[in-house]
């Protein structure tokens, strides 16, 4: 598994985690924000009227209402990115990463407006009578100007559709059930595979019904899960009210310098905080990824711009509201930079040669910080690691979850202290069945779970996280199954959907007991593979986007002459 994770990280280093990727994502969004004169601000209030159905027509074509399309898209974005993803961003980049998540959302509101509008404009009716849409359809049907020649981009549409199928697993299936199962195991002690099996059966039952059943479920599920989650968050924030202002200040204090070391957190550089904030922001709201347009294509509407306006609300709700509240919960509780007893995951663990390292002095913290942030490299342990009754007797130091591990105990398969030798190569255990436990930072869903125990509900708070995570992540898996089957319809026709659904449900089950770090790395890769073709496509159609908006307002004034427009 370590070799798999190393390979995935190598691939991801060239795309999703590459230094240029956040700039490409934000650059396109910023371009459209200026080019279209800040539509995410100008059209925000109008979008609220549209989603209420104020300007609908009785003969509008589609399978869902504006609100159902919004909740379906939100159920696809409001998931582990809001609970586990925010905690991971904070763990990797510190409070400054949360600032870049918010920036990504603000710019992403415009990006999502553009991609949904263009995708809705070129949607098609499938052979089964349902609407199919998404970036692959505008790439296939729109006319792109190539040195004076009008061409389509069907080859790019195929690339996007294939990436969508992969991302259905990397975003919608694998990380969702993984976060659910690990959280439920930590809270209730239920085996990972049992949670996976039960939810896989439920998932299969839901997705067989297609978009109408999915929309009917998500329009009720999304508001319910939001209320439950907010109650838990505010129970923590209000219980630690004295930490609220310092928490808000910390988000903005180190924006242009990177997050400083604090407690067990060894600090993060500006580039690391920026990259992880943007990356997690994209995973949270998916602006620019091209996923939400697939859900919005099913909405009943006679023109595309109004549906694009509805999409403006998604990053605002998903990231600016929900992720901010999660971030403040984690910061105000104080658990984000504290070490907690946990079981070490091999992908998060590194063994250094020597025992002189410390995070109790400024010099020692800086030395470790530069190592984990890739500035300098410390010598890794290589060779036999001697262990006696669970205690490491070799000249070695454990780093786990980007922190200096303490009180490390090595256990064997029988959950007894291990005595013997663990073979280590380049700082990683080789073919070891032993389990390393101890105190270190934690991340993702387990960190949020710990934070929720620091509120008015005490230990009962962790149940809110488990319930919230189950509802959030399960709804995401439902929506992404639909994104995947629309992509399969585009690639191989409606007949291929049933086979996709079978594989999707099986993969959902298997991912419930896999290493979380590998799941998150795979997710980052699939997100990038969807995003890049979509960014190329919408930028190429920038002039058409502007003319489509102008046509919308001209026609709107004819139909509703007494309504004031925010054009």
Task: State pLDDT tens for residues 178-234.
Answer: 878 877 887 788 899 999 999 999 999 888 877 778 878 888 887 888 888 899 999
Residue 79: its pLDDT value, please? 66
| Percent above pLDDT 70 for the chain | 98
In this prediction, residue 338 has a pLDDT band, given cuts at 50, 70 and 90, of very high
Phi/psi at 355 (5° precision): -125, 20
Q: With 70 as the cut, is the pLDDT of residue 439 above it? A: yes
Cβ-contact 22, 274 below 8 angstroms: yes
User: Which residues make up the CATH 1.20.1740.10 domain(s) of the chain?
Assistant: 22-338+452-559
The residues near 137 (Cβ < 8 Å, ≥ 6 apart) are 119, 122, 123, 124, 157, 297, 490
Q: Which residue from 132, 37, 86 is spatially nearest to 491, judged by alpha carbons?
A: 132
Residue 248: its pLDDT value, please? 93
Average pLDDT of the chain is: 87
Q: Which residue from 351, 372, 354 is spatially nearest to 425, judged by alpha carbons?
A: 351
Q: Kindly state the average pLDDT of the residues 554-558.
A: 92
> What is the C-alpha to C-alpha distance for residues 8 and 304, in angstroms, rounded to an integer?
38
Distances 151 to 148, 154, 227, 534, 541 between C-alpha atoms, Å: 9, 9, 48, 17, 12
Residue 376: count other Cβ atoms within 10 Å of its Cβ.
10
> What is the C-alpha to C-alpha distance for residues 119 and 36, in angstroms, rounded to an integer?
17
Q: Kindly state the average pLDDT of the residues 403-418.
A: 90
Residue 381: its pLDDT value, please? 95
Residue 1: its pLDDT value, please? 65
Three-class SS state of 65: coil
Phi/psi at 269 (5° precision): -70, 165
Beta pairing class for 403-404 and 406-411: unpaired
With residues binned 3-state (H G I as helix, E B as strand, rest as coil), the percentages for the chain, rounded to 5, are 65, 10, 25
Q: What is the DSSP string of 340-358?
A: EEEEPPGGGEEEEE-S---
User: Which residue blocks in 422-515 are alpha helix, DSSP H?
Assistant: 444-452, 461-492, 497-510
Reading the block at residue 230, the tokens are 């907010």
Q: How far from chain centre, in Å, is Cα 295?
A: 17
Q: Kindly state the average pLDDT of the residues 231-238.
A: 95
Reading the block at residue 129, the tokens are 């009578």
Q: With 70 as the cut, is the pLDDT of residue 486 above it? A: yes
Q: With 90 as the cut, is the pLDDT of residue 337 above it? A: yes
In this prediction, residue 472 has a pLDDT band, given cuts at 50, 70 and 90, of confident
> What is the C-alpha to C-alpha distance for residues 177 and 382, in angstroms, rounded to an integer?
35
Q: With 90 as the cut, is the pLDDT of residue 241 above it? A: yes
Q: With 90 as the cut, is the pLDDT of residue 28 above it? A: yes
Poorest-confidence range of 21-35, 89-103, 200-214, 379-393?
A: 200-214
DSSP conformational letter for 166: H
Residue 491: its pLDDT value, please? 93
Residue 230: count other Cβ atoms within 10 Å of its Cβ.
15
Phi/psi at 460 (5° precision): -70, -15
Residue 345: its pLDDT value, please? 86
In this prediction, residue 391 has a pLDDT band, given cuts at 50, 70 and 90, of very high
Q: With 70 as the cut, is the pLDDT of residue 552 above it? A: yes
In this prediction, residue 441 has a pLDDT band, given cuts at 50, 70 and 90, of very high
Phi/psi at 454 (5° precision): -100, 20
Residues in the chain: 567
The residues near 48 (Cβ < 8 Å, ≥ 6 apart) are 313
Q: Kindly state the average pLDDT of the residues 505-522.
A: 80
CA atoms within 13 A on the CB side of 445: 30
Q: With 70 as the cut, is the pLDDT of residue 267 above it? A: yes
Residue 218: its pLDDT value, please? 80
> What is the C-alpha to C-alpha distance for residues 418 and 284, in angstroms, rounded to an integer?
41
CA atoms within 13 A on the CB side of 89: 37
Residue 228: exposure state from Cβ atoms within 10 A (0-12, 13-18, ≥19):
middle
Reading the block at residue 163, the tokens are 């990436």
Residue 313: its pLDDT value, please? 93
Could you report the per-residue pLDDT of 518-550, keeping only the tens digit for each? 776 777 788 888 889 999 999 999 999 999 999
Could you report the per-residue pLDDT of 112-145, keeping only the tens digit for each? 999 999 998 999 887 777 788 899 999 998 888 7
Q: Kindly state the average pLDDT of the residues 101-119.
A: 93
Q: Which residue has the tokens 């961003």?
A: 89
In this prediction, residue 516 has a pLDDT band, given cuts at 50, 70 and 90, of low
> What is the C-alpha to C-alpha distance for residues 191 and 185, in angstroms, rounded to an integer?
6
Q: Kindly state the average pLDDT of the residues 7-15.
A: 84
Q: Which residue from 434, 267, 260, 417 is spatially nearest to 351, judged by alpha carbons?
A: 434
Cβ-contact 478, 309 below 8 angstroms: no
Residue 468: its pLDDT value, please? 80
Q: Kindly state the average pLDDT of the residues 391-419.
A: 91
Q: Which CATH superfamily is domain 22-338+452-559 in?
A: Amino acid/polyamine transporter I (1.20.1740.10)
Residue 517: its pLDDT value, please? 67
Q: Which residue has the tokens 């994502």?
A: 25
Q: With 70 as the cut, is the pLDDT of residue 80 above it? A: no
Q: Is the dihedral of CA 450, 452, 456, 458 positive or negative?
A: negative
Q: Which residue has the tokens 């002459």?
A: 561
Poorest-confidence range of 33-42, 62-71, 119-128, 458-467?
A: 62-71
Cβ-contact 305, 548 below 8 angstroms: yes
Choose between 452 and 10: higher pLDDT: 452
Poorest-confidence range of 243-247, 263-267, 299-303?
A: 299-303
In this prediction, residue 308 has a pLDDT band, given cuts at 50, 70 and 90, of very high
């Amino acid at each position: 598994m370590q070799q798999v994770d190393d390979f995935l990280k190598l691939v991801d280093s060239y795309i999703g985690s590459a230094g240029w990727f956040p700039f490409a994502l934000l650059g396109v969004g910023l371009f459209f924000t200026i080019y279209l004169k800040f539509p995410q601000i100008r059209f925000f209030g109008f979008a609220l009227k549209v989603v209420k159905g104020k300007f609908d027509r009785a003969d509008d074509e589609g399978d869902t209402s504006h609100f159902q399309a919004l909740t379906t898209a939100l159920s696809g974005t409001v998931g582990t990115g809001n609970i586990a993803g925010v905690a991971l961003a904070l763990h990797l980049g510190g409070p400054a990463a949360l600032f870049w998540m918010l920036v990504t959302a603000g710019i992403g509101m415009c990006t999502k407006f553009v991609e949904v509008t263009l995708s809705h404009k070129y949607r098609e009716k499938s052979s089964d009578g349902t609407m199919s849409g998404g970036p692959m359809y505008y790439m296939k049907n729109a006319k792109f100007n190539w040195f004076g020649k009008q061409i389509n981009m069907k080859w790019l549409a195929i690339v996007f559709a294939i990436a969508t199928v992969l991302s259905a697993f990397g975003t919608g299936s694998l990380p969702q059930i993984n976060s659910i199962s690990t959280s439920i195991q930590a809270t209730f002690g239920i085996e990972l595979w049992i949670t996976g099996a039960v939810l896989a059966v439920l998932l299969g039952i839901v997705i067989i019904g297609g978009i109408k059943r999915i929309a009917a479920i998500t329009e009720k599920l999304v508001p319910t899960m939001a209320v439950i989650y907010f109650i838990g968050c505010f129970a923590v924030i209000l219980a630690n009210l004295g930490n609220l202002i310092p928490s808000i200040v910390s988000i903005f204090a180190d924006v242009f310098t990177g997050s400083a070391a604090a407690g067990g957190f060894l600090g993060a550089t500006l580039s690391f905080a920026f990259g992880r904030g943007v990356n997690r922001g994209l995973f949270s709201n998916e602006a620019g990824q091209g996923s939400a347009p697939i859900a919005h294509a099913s909405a009943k509407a006679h023109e595309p711009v109004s549906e694009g306006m509805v999409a403006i609300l998604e990053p605002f709700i998903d990231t600016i509201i929900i992720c901010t509240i999660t971030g403040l919960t984690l910061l105000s509780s104080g658990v984000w930079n504290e070490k907690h007893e946990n079981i070490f995951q091999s992908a998060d663990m590194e063994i250094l040669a020597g025992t002189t390292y410390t995070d109790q002095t400024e010099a020692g913290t800086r030395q470790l910080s530069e190592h984990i942030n890739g500035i300098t490299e410390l010598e890794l342990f290589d060779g036999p690691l001697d262990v006696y009754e669970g205690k490491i007797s070799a000249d070695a130091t454990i780093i786990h979850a980007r922190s200096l591990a303490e009180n490390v105990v090595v256990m064997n398969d029988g959950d007894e202290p291990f005595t013997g030798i663990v073979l280590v190569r380049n700082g990683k255990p080789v073919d070891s069945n032993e389990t390393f436990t101890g105190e270190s930072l934690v991340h993702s869903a387990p960190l949020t779970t710990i934070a929720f125990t620091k509120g008015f509900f005490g230990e009962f708070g962790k149940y809110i996280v488990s319930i919230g995570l189950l509802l959030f992540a399960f709804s995401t898996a439902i929506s992404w199954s639909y994104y995947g089957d629309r992509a399969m319809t585009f690639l191989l026709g409606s007949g291929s959907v049933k086979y996709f659904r079978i594989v999707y449900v099986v993969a959902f089950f298997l991912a419930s007991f896999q290493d979380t770090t590998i799941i998150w790395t795979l997710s980052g890769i699939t997100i990038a593979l969807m995003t890049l073709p979509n960014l190329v496509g919408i930028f190429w159609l920038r002039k058409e986007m502007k003319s489509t908006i102008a046509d919308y307002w001209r026609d709107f004034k004819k139909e509703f002459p007494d309504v004031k427009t925010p054009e």
